[in-house]
Amino acid sequence: MSDVLVTGSQGFVGRNLCAELSRREGLQLHRYDVDHPPSDLRKALATADIIFHLAGVNRPPTPEDYQRGNAGFTEQICHDLAAMGRKPKIVLSSSIQAELDNPYGQSKRSAEQALEHYCQKTGAAGVVYRLKNLFGKWCRPNYNSVTATFCHNIANDLPIQISNPANVVDLTYIDDVVAAFLREPEPRTTQGGFRFAEALPSHQTTLGELAALIQSFRDHRKTLRVPDFSQPFVRRCTQRFYPI
C-alpha cells in the first residue's frame, strides 16, 4: 500500500489532489493543514512514501511570514525527515515567481533550495513544479486567482477591476496540475536526485480578453447562445456558468 502525505490539503491545489487520491484503492492518504496539530505531521512523515508538499503562504500579514511559511516550513519537513533517517519522495509546488526578486519569490526559491539540499544530503528524490496562474473548481475568488475573481463577480453582478486590459496572463488549469502530480512515478521505482518538472500546459490571454470571455458566458443567458465548448480553455472557464 502506498502511503501519501499532502500538506496544504485544504487549499486549492490540495483539495483537488486529495479528491483524486481518495478515489484510488490501496492507498493510505494523510492530510495535513494549518489547523492540524504538529503531531499529525510527525506521524505522517514517519510513514509516507511520497509527500506532495503544497502548503505555503502567499498573503501573509508581514513580509517575514513569507520565509517562515514557505522556506521555513519546507526546511522543517526536510530536517524532521533527515532526523528520522527517512527519504520519501517529495513533490514541491513552487511558483514561477521564484524567478523574481520579491519577498514571495525569494521564499519560494529558498524552499526549492531547501529541498535540493535535502536530496543531495540523503539521496532522496525531489521534484519542483513552478506553477503558473491557476484556475479551476474550488478556486477562491477575490484572493489570488484573477479567473476565479472574474467568474465570481460577473456571475453575481459585481464589478471587476482591471489595472491594464493589455496585461498578459498565463493560465494553467487545475486538472492539468493534478494529472501531472499523479503521473509522478512511485518512489520505489524512482532514482534519487533533485529536478525541476517540465512546464505544464497553459493558455496565454490578456486581462481584457479574459474579462470579455467570461462576460460573454453571462450574456449567453439572455442571448441563448452556447459557448464554443470545442475550445478547451473556453470549456474549462465555463464551470461557474454551465454544468458540464
Q: Which residues are catalytically annotated?
A: 104
Name the maximum alpha-carbon separation found in the chain.
Answer: 63
Nearest to 131 by CA among 159, 171, 101, 76: 171
Distance CA 50, CA 44 (A): 10
Task: Give helix 103-122 / helix 73-84 axis angle, nearest 10°.
Answer: 10
Alpha-carbon gap, residue 239 to 208, rounded angstroms: 20
d(CA 66, CA 173) in angstroms, rounded, equals: 25
Calpha distance 110→74 (Å, rounded): 9
Q: What is the DSSP string of 210-234?
A: HHHHHHHHHHHHHH-PPP-TTSHHH
